[in-house]
Amino acid sequence: MVDVQHWLSALPPGVVYLIVAGVIGVESMGVPLPGEIVLVSSALLAATGVVEPEWVASAAAFGAIVGDSVGYAVGRRGGRPLLARLGRRFPKHLGPAQLARAEQSFARHGVWAVFFGRFVALLRILAGPLAGALHVPYRRFLLANAAGGLVWAFGTTYLLYSVGKAAEHWLKDISWAGLVLAVLAGLGSTWWLRRRAHHVTSTDSASGVEVASDGQSAAVAPDVDPVRAGNEH
């Protein structure tokens, strides 16, 4: 992440914003890219004054919302065969087991899986294409997608920006206690958000999603229709 931040610092601010929007947007379409690393690096860079935090957050939110919407359209058009092809291309991130877990989340939580999925690496990549493939109503998807993208982008950016500015100020005064408190506050907030987000997927492991011996995922959940569950939510 330090290397990413150093690389971004050598670029004009406008290019940094485009990279943030582009990387997060492509990741949200279903392609595994380090979107969160780019956002974190850019937010910390904003604390040094190289870029503006509001533009970093706006670029991240724009990329997340548009990328998820494009992923939704592609998933709705390509369906499960598309997800299967993505799994073969990126087996480590989008293999049968990962896809089955994501489907389980949608079956149990509907569009809330889209909102909290923005804070979970697996669902952040799969939310758009999977929601489209499962024919989740687009209006509900867009509402959860926009809310999750805005909270994730602006929350992450300003949390890290504030911690970075506080650290810079306190380091000048050699107030190590204050620095530790700021870091702990930031970590505590991030932990709470991730705990809430992981709660969405925590039932997946407990439900025992099975993967068939031929490498394909088994049924999403007994007696659960993911499309109906997504629509009901």
- Across the strands, what pairs with 26? none
Helix spans in 173-218 (H): 176-207
Which residues touch 226 (CB under 8 Å, ≥6 apart)? 103, 106, 107, 134, 220
Q: What pLDDT, in 10s, does the model give residues 178-221? A: 445 555 666 666 666 666 666 655 555 555 444 444 444 444 44
Lowest mean pLDDT among 83-97, 104-118, 131-145, 176-190: 176-190
Whether the model clears a pTM of 0.75, i.e. scores above it, the answer is no
Give Rg (Cα) of the chain.
19
Instruction: Determine the Cα–Cα distance for residues 82 and 66; give it in Å rounded to an integer.
Output: 19
pLDDT of 2 strictly over 90: no
Residue 166 Ramachandran class (φ > 0 left, ψ -120 to 50 alpha, else beta): alpha
CA angle, 19 as apex, 16 and 22 as ends, to 5°? Answer: 150
Structure tokens that stand for 154 in this block: 């602006």
pLDDT of 33 strictly over 60: yes
Residue whose token pair is 């709660």: 199
What end-to-end distance do the CA atoms of the chain give, in Å?
37
Tell me the backbone φ, ψ of residue 217, rounded to 5 degrees. Answer: -75, 145
What is the average pLDDT across 91-104? 74
Q: What pLDDT, in 10s, does the model give residues 68-91? A: 999 999 888 887 777 777 777 777
Q: What is the pLDDT of residue 142?
A: 93
- Across the strands, what pairs with 217? 211
CA angle, 98 as apex, 94 and 100 as ends, to 5°? Answer: 120
